[in-house]
Amino acid sequence: MSSHLIGTVNVEATIYESILATLDSKSRTSVVVDFEGKLVGVVSEGDLLKAYLKGFQLNTTIIDVMNPNPFFVNKALDKVELLELWRKTGIETVPVIDKERKLLTIQRFRDEENWIIS
């Protein structure tokens, strides 16, 4: 089901497994990786709700409903950069990848008072 980082799922995960990963991460988004740990997409609570409303089943593969073009960075953001990104875009989950797109870590921002970097 999930990869080594909390809030990640592999490309063969189901919608149900992505829901569990999202709940585990205490964020609104799961990061989707391939079997080499490379970023292939993200799936948000909104994506999951849209899938439900369209009639997708919980055993549907997450690749069918994920965003294949997520925002990412190649180096971790400091607290100020993460806060500014959130203020400007509303993006709360930021995958940090290397030059081969391998997921290094996930930075998460909840709100100005309760933010997390994992």
- Determine, yes or no, domain membership for 3: no
b (16+ CB within 10 A) / e for 39-72:
bbbbbbeebbeebeeeebeeebebbebbeeebeb
10 pLDDT above the threshold of 80? yes
Q: What is the CATH number of the domain that holds 33?
A: 3.10.580.10
Q: Does 1 map to a domain?
A: no
- 103: in domain: yes
What is the pTM assigned to this prediction? 0.84
Structural domain boundaries, residue 83? 8-117
In a domain, 88, yes or no: yes
- How many domains, in total, are found in the chain? 1
**57-94: per-residue pLDDT in tens?**
999 999 999 999 999 999 888 888 888 888 898 888 88
